[in-house]
């Protein structure tokens, strides 16, 4: 059954496999008269590309975004915006040896059980490459956020077991892990180097903050803003947990500590993470996302083949050591899509 669409008004549908001709997205429901060019999309796409980071893959795809429809003379027209990215760098020969074997931690086994067939090349549809379409769509969503003066930032809160303690906004772009704490970064870097040497991988926690969100976004009772955000980020491969505001920490507090008191100038604290009863309260929206270590590792592990024979496997080839930091912009994109969708939803009752 269909599961490749997301959003209700600002609605995206993605397509494509890692090693097919191309991957992409169709955005339906975007309002007309927004500025949109391939350059605007490309700017966000470039933040997802493998870069100088030790954590990132050597795969050198030029993820060039092509706008096919829905834009006329630099403006959106209200009709579907299709954006695709060619899969130029795909080498099918790299993957022939995993044709009949299931990589631990990957979707190989579950896709096979679900469908009885799968495009095994590079993980097919379950590849992280699928997120390119999400980022392209996110760039369009961000044009809506921008028009409402909403800002979104993301950074690495924890990486390879090391927490960021300081928060210096300017530091985020100064290190390849997008960590707002240069001291923590140095410790993270040591851990990453150690993991690389061991042929292993690492995970971490991404935090996204959305500023200037008007109060009133979110729909009772199932399409709460936090419920939609939770689904949005949990739908990204490698994500295993999500928190809003102080999240799991709230469970240890008493109500008197956890409640955000209210003054004529606003809330005195933001444990709620900007959302009360599923509706934005005007404060910053705060989301934390648990990212597991990438399952592809050089270390040999036990698995089975398609006939359930015991096998050993170690993943060769080019691979990121962690979904972080490339996943960070994907989290931003997905949350931007949720916010854009709810901005448009709110218009229906005003």
230-259 residues near a copy of itself, rule: CB under 8 A:
230-232, 234-235, 237, 240-248, 250-259
Residue 77 is a binding residue for a copy of itself (CB under 8 A): yes
72 binds a copy of itself (CB under 8 A): yes
Residue 59 or 258: which CB sits closer to a copy of itself? 258
Rounding to the nearest 10 degrees, give the CA dihedral for residues 235, 240, 246, 251.
Answer: 120
| Residue 176 near residue 206 (C-beta atoms within 8 A) | no
Regarding 49 and contact with a copy of itself (CB under 8 A), the answer is: no
Q: Find how far residue 158's CA is from the centre of its chain.
A: 16
Binding mask 187-226 for a copy of itself (x = CB under 8 A): --------x--x-xxxxxx---------xxxxxxxxxx-x
* 300-329 binders of a copy of itself (CB under 8 A): 301-304, 308-310
Does residue 42 touch a copy of itself according to CB under 8 A?
no
Cα–Cα separations (whole angstroms), residue 37 to 11, 101, 135: 19, 42, 15
Show the CA angle centred on residue 103, arms to residues 102 and 107, nearest 5°.
Answer: 80
Task: Please choose, out of 40-48, 91-99, 174-182, 288-296, the segment that lies near a copy of itself by the rule CB under 8 A.
Answer: 288-296
Distance CA 245, CA 259 (A): 12
Q: Which is nearer to a copy of itself, 51 or 266 (CB)?
A: 266
**Distances, alpha carbon 272 to alpha carbons 159, 250, 257, 277, in Å:** 24, 9, 11, 10
Instruction: State the nearest-atom distance from the C-beta of 332 to a copy of itself, in Å.
Output: 17
Among 105, 138, 176, 325, contact with a copy of itself (rule: CB under 8 A)? 105
- Helices 326-347 and 225-234, interaxial angle, to 10°? 150
Min dist CB 112 to a copy of itself, Å, is 9
Q: Which residue, 330, 156, 145, is CA-closest to 235? A: 330
How many residues bind a copy of itself (CB under 8 A)? The answer is: 145
Note whether 335 and 304 are within 8 A (CB).
no
Q: Which is nearer to a copy of itself, 170 or 284 (CB)?
A: 284
Residue of 49, 146, 292, 318 interacting with a copy of itself (CB under 8 A): 292
């Amino acid at each position: 059954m269909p599961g490749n669409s997301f959003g209700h008004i600002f609605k995206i549908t993605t397509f494509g496999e890692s090693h097919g001709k191309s991957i992409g997205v169709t955005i339906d429901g975007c309002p007309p008269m927004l500025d949109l060019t391939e350059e605007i999309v490309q700017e966000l796409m470039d933040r997802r590309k493998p870069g100088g980071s030790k954590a990132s893959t050597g795969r050198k795809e030029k993820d060039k975004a092509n706008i096919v429809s829905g834009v006329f003379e630099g403006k959106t027209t209200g009709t579907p915006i299709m954006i695709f990215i060619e899969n130029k760098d795909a080498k099918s020969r790299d993957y022939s040896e995993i044709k009949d074997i299931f990589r631990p931690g990957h979707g190989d086994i579950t896709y096979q059980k679900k469908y009885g067939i799968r495009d095994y090349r590079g993980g097919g549809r379950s590849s992280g490459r699928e997120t390119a379409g999400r980022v392209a769509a996110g760039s369009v969503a961000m044009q809506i956020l921008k028009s409402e003066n909403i800002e979104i930032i993301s950074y690495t809160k924890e990486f390879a077991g090391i927490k960021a303690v300081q928060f210096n906004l300017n530091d985020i772009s100064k290190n390849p892990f997008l960590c707002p704490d240069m001291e923590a970064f140095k410790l993270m870097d040591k851990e990453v180097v150690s993991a690389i040497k061991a042929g292993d991988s690492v995970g971490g926690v991404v935090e996204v903050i959305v500023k200037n969100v008007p109060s009133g976004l979110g729909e009772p009772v199932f399409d709460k803003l936090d419920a939609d955000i939770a689904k949005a980020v949990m739908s990204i491969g490698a994500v295993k947990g999500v928190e809003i505001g102080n999240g799991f920490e709230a469970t240890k507090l008493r109500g008197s500590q956890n409640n955000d008191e209210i003054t004529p100038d606003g809330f005195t604290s933001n444990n709620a993470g900007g959302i009360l009863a599923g509706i934005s309260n005007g404060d910053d929206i705060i989301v934390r996302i648990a990212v597991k270590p990438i399952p592809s590792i050089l270390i040999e592990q036990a698995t089975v083949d398609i006939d359930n024979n015991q096998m050993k496997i170690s993943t060769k080839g080019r691979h990121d050591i962690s979904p972080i930091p490339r996943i960070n912009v994907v989290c931003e994109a997905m949350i931007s899509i949720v916010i854009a969708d709810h901005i448009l939803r709110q218009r229906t009752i005003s």
